[in-house]
Amino acid sequence: MHFAIRHTTCFTYDRPVFLEPHLLRLRPRCDGIQHLSHFDLEVVPQPAGISQCLDLDGNAVVRLWFEGEHPALTFTTTSQVETAARNPFDFFLDPAALQLPLRCPDRLAALLAPYRIAGEPEGEVAALARRLAREAGGGTLPFLGALNTYLHRTCDQVFRPDGDPLPPERTLSLGQGACRDLAVLFMEACRCMGIPARFVSGYQADAPEEERQDLHAWAEVYLPGAGWRGYDPTRGLSVVDRHVALAAGPTHEQARPTEGTFRGTGVAAGLRAQISIQTTAAAPPHQAVPTAKERAQ
């Protein structure tokens, strides 16, 4: 699927403030299943300096710093992305990863430690994870599918434009949450079963009836033999070609699209965001393009 994305984030202040350095994670990933063909970033006011790097999870990070005082700060990105994954199960798990609790090889355990830390191993989320694992026969993939479906069916989606994700136990007890709440709940249940999980922020192709377009969040789990694989409990889907990932990390904090502060006493700040996502279907793989002669026949 081809995505054309325009994303504007505008911070406003009721009087000029001094802008501290800001971090941006707004450049879509470019890898084997997601190809970035164009990216442009416009910043107003013009930064005094800009640097780019890759963080520990391979996210493209832009660091900006400013001079002087300003009444507003605006980031506008335009991206063109093609997503290629169509089959969420085009892999073979390592034999040791077929059953739960998942045990990672020693050579991976230390690297994956930040993604395996569970909050309350004896809480309600852990109890839910154990129950779903039993009902799935202890299989890793059946458990992931059952968890994804369960959260989608039992938790209503709500729109909450800002704020950190709710604690997973809270989301489970409420039976509702924003996409970031359900992603964190999914991650916690996976970690209770030994499955490494991380938080992903990005975009998703909206259904035709949905008018509002916003940032989206989902989860990725690491499966030995398959690598990182995405699950979206808000939609109840395995992640393939209808999602565009921006950034990922062991917590939502490492995947924030924008991060920064300002200096100013008693200043009231506002935030406006506008996202436009246009999609077109990609041609089926290996489809031959007819010649002019063939089209004329």
CATH of the domain at 121: 3.10.620.30
Please indicate, yes or no, whether residues 155 and 125 belong to a single structural domain of this protein: yes
The 10 Å Cβ neighbour count of residue 126 is 20
* Residue 212 predicted with pLDDT over 80: no
Choose the most confident range, by mean pLDDT, from 33-47, 90-104, 113-127, 205-219: 33-47
Domain count, the chain: 2
Q: Residue 16 domain-assigned?
A: yes
Q: Residue 18 domain-assigned?
A: yes
Last residue of a domain, one of 187, 207, 239: 239
The pLDDT value given to residue 162? 83
The pLDDT value given to residue 207? 55
Q: Residue 89 domain-assigned?
A: no
Q: How far apart are CA 137 and CA 156, in angstroms?
A: 27
Question: What pTM value is reported for the model?
Answer: 0.92
* Residue 55 predicted with pLDDT over 60: yes
Please indicate, yes or no, whether residues 69 and 115 belong to a single structural domain of this protein: no
User: What is the Cα gyration radius of the chain?
Assistant: 21
* Residue 291 predicted with pLDDT over 50: no
The pLDDT value given to residue 105? 84
Please indicate, yes or no, whether residues 64 and 20 belong to a single structural domain of this protein: yes
Confidence of residue 146 (pLDDT cuts 50, 70, 90): very high
Domain of 45?
2-83+256-280
Please indicate, yes or no, whether residues 48 and 109 belong to a single structural domain of this protein: no
Q: Residue 22 domain-assigned?
A: yes
Average pLDDT of span 274-296: 64
* Residue 253 predicted with pLDDT over 80: yes
Q: Residue 142 domain-assigned?
A: yes
CATH of the domain at 12: 2.60.40.2250
Please indicate, yes or no, whether residues 20 and 119 belong to a single structural domain of this protein: no
- According to the 3-state scheme, what is the secondary structure of 94-149? CHHHCECCCCCCHHHHHHHHHHCCCCCCCCHHHHHHHHHHHHCCCEHHHHHHHHHH
Q: How far apart are CA 130 and CA 125, in angstroms?
A: 9
Please indicate, yes or no, whether residues 149 and 195 belong to a single structural domain of this protein: yes
Confidence of residue 284 (pLDDT cuts 50, 70, 90): low
* Residue 292 predicted with pLDDT over 70: no
Please indicate, yes or no, whether residues 75 and 145 belong to a single structural domain of this protein: no
Confidence of residue 297 (pLDDT cuts 50, 70, 90): very low
Please indicate, yes or no, whether residues 233 and 260 belong to a single structural domain of this protein: no
Q: Residue 296 domain-assigned?
A: no
Average pLDDT of span 148-166: 93
The pLDDT value given to residue 296? 43
CA 101 to centroid of chain Cα atoms: 25
* Residue 147 predicted with pLDDT over 90: yes
Backbone angles phi, psi at 57, to 5 degrees: -95, 10
Confidence of residue 118 (pLDDT cuts 50, 70, 90): confident
106, 189 Cβ separation under 8 angstroms: no
Q: Residue 48 domain-assigned?
A: yes
Please indicate, yes or no, whether residues 185 and 60 belong to a single structural domain of this protein: no
Confidence of residue 107 (pLDDT cuts 50, 70, 90): confident
Please indicate, yes or no, whether residues 36 and 140 belong to a single structural domain of this protein: no
The pLDDT value given to residue 228? 96
Q: Residue 110 domain-assigned?
A: yes
